[in-house]
Amino acid sequence: MYKQLRKRFIAASMAGMLLVTLIVVGAINIINFVNEKKSINEMLEFINNFSMDMSGKDGKQDRDKGFRPEEMPGELPGEMPADLPEDMKNNRGDGENDDFRRWNRDDLKRGFDRINFTAETQYTTRFFIVEFDSDGTIVRTDTTSIAAIDNDEAQKIAARLYKGKQQSGRDGYYYYKEYETENGSCLVYLDCTNEILQSRKLLLISLGVALASLVMEFILLWFFSKKVVKPVAESVEKQKSFITDASHELKTPLTIISANTEVLEMMDEKNEWTESIKNQTVRLSKLINEMVYLAKMDEEKRELTMENFSLSNAVNEVVMPFETVAKSKGFSFDTEIEDNIDFHGDEAAVRQMVSIFMDNAMKYTGKNEAGEEKIKVSLQRKNKKARLTVYNTCEKIDKETLSRLFERFYRVDKSRSRETGGSGIGLSIVQAIADKHKGLNVRADSKAEGTIEFIADFEIKK
């Protein structure tokens, strides 16, 4: 139990830390990507506006010297327009920053208020521009601001992207956008190698830091979990010891009560009081045995006897005695058990599991809306699995409660359970048996109103 609690504590803690780490790393990279994309779009827009400002009235352009601030329209360095806002006037340079000041002024003309350009941006920005007329013919190609691509290659790229499904997007390490002009369209192709590589580097660094943090957190949890889990494990062990010790102490008075009741019946005739005492004694003895069995199943050192056995024969032998009882109560009873199905596990435990399923069906079978009272047991092979299904009609059951049926002492209708003698611990034993077996899973299902079925899936060899 101690090791199991420790593993669960570490797993839960690591899952929470992993979720938080993924959220943080994801947020950092998403914010970086959004800012990068915004900056790229602003640069593409600026290049397009700059290109249009440099164009003549006939649509042609004189840009042999490329993307240079000294050719940009506007006042010469040192000149300030009369209508320039005060905050822009305060940005006046001392000679070294005149180009930077003029860039900001031009940005203001184009509607860009806060684009982070510097005096070096003109030299670090690599792009080319291809203009098309209304017929789609290339009328101008400008590659003066890029060295990796010549005019021929620029025209091939532009022809491939012209009037595509997407008017903007990414092409390798480049981003592009197509703008409408008075005489046709203009394709701006921007080199974003540095931005993309920096984003990848940030992603790898953040993932590396996250992984290193998780490893360190796991190491810390491994050492500190001993102190955290130890009190809980000791408390659970004390509860188990109490159940075991209490069961031994209770068996003696129960035996005496049962013996005294039989003596009273021998001295006097049987009556409803002695019958009630005997019934409650049997019920209490059964509950004690189930609690002790469940406590032992929870022990880590508890090992079942695993061996190959005939699952078909085991199910058939357990189910058959219930057929007579079911028919005596007026229930319809059907079986469909496939032969030659073997399973590797503890045969006694599996038999007890099937017996609990059958006992549960016998206690709680009732009329459904159609007035049927039916029990059906099937064991069928499906690929590498064998499915045991115990089906019975019953009163309407809420599907939300199906997952809770295997909880300890959980009962759907407590008043009805008193009448049938149910303690709410039988299905908990089934779950404990399934947990001790590899390749054995149990669950409850209700495919139609007024029906319930308990399903056990066994992993088998063909």
Q: Which of 10-14, 31-35, 87-91, 251-255 has the lowest mean pLDDT?
A: 87-91
Whether residue 360 is predicted with pLDDT greater than 70 in this model: the reply is yes
Whether residue 424 is predicted with pLDDT greater than 90 in this model: the reply is no
Task: Quote the pLDDT of residue 30.
Answer: 95
Phi, psi of 192 (to 5 degrees): -120, 30
Task: Quote the pLDDT of residue 438.
Answer: 85
Task: Quote the pLDDT of residue 26.
Answer: 94
Mean pLDDT value across the chain: 77
Question: If we measure between CA atoms, which residue out of 373, 401, 378 comes closest to residue 390?
Answer: 378
Name the 3-class secondary structure at 355.
helix
In the chain, pLDDT over 70 holds for what percent of residues? Answer: 73
Whether residue 97 is predicted with pLDDT greater than 70 in this model: the reply is no
How confident is the model over 410-421, as a mean pLDDT?
54
List, in order, residues 6 or more apart from 374 with CB less than 8 Å away: 331, 332, 333, 334, 365, 391, 392, 393
How confident is the model over 283-290, as a mean pLDDT?
77
117: how many CB neighbours lie within 10 A of its CB? 19
- 314-343, pLDDT tens digit by residue? 999 999 988 888 888 888 899 999 998 999
Q: Which of 31-35, 216-220, 266-270, 304-308 has the lowest mean pLDDT?
A: 266-270
- 14-31, pLDDT tens digit by residue? 999 999 999 999 999 999
Write out the H or E segment, with its range, that includes residue 204.
helix 193-267
Q: Where are the alpha helices (DSSP H) in 393-455?
A: 414-420, 426-436
Say what the alpha-carbon torsion angle 61, 63, 68, 74 is, to the nearest 10 degrees.
Answer: -30
Whether residue 210 is predicted with pLDDT greater than 90 in this model: the reply is yes
Q: Interior CA angle at 261 toward 258 and 262, to 5°?
A: 90
For 120-159, letters b (16+ CB in 10 Å) and e give ebbeebbbbbbbbeeeeebebbbbbbbeebeeeebbebbe
For 164-188, letters b (16+ CB in 10 Å) and e give eeeebeeeeebbbbbbebeebbbbb
Q: Which of 53-62, 109-118, 121-130, 267-276 has the lowest mean pLDDT?
A: 53-62
Task: Quote the pLDDT of residue 423.
Answer: 58
Distances (CA, A) of 320 to 325, 334, 380: 10, 10, 17
Task: Quote the pLDDT of residue 109.
Answer: 41
How confident is the model over 211-235, as a mean pLDDT?
83
Phi, psi of 120 (to 5 degrees): -95, -10
Looking at CATH, the fold of the domain delimited by 307-459 is given as: Heat Shock Protein 90 (3.30.565)
Per DSSP, 75 falls in state P
Cβ 409 vs Cβ 424: under 8 Å: yes
Whether residue 55 is predicted with pLDDT greater than 60 in this model: the reply is no
Q: Which of 245-254, 278-287, 354-363 has the lowest mean pLDDT?
A: 245-254
Task: Quote the pLDDT of residue 248.
Answer: 65
Task: Quote the pLDDT of residue 244.
Answer: 64
List, in order, residues 6 or more apart from 395 with CB less than 8 Å away: 366, 367, 368, 450
User: What's the token pair of residue 330?
Assistant: 């007026």
How confident is the model over 273-279, as a mean pLDDT?
82
Whether residue 77 is predicted with pLDDT greater than 70 in this model: the reply is no
How confident is the model over 71-86, as a mean pLDDT?
44
Domain boundaries, the chain: 125-191, 307-459
Which of the two residues, 303 and 196, has the higher pLDDT score?
196
Question: How far apart are the C-alpha atoms of 100 and 119, rounded to whole Å?
Answer: 5
Q: Which of 65-79, 288-302, 352-366 has the lowest mean pLDDT?
A: 65-79
Task: Quote the pLDDT of residue 413.
Answer: 57
460: how many CB neighbours lie within 10 A of its CB? 17
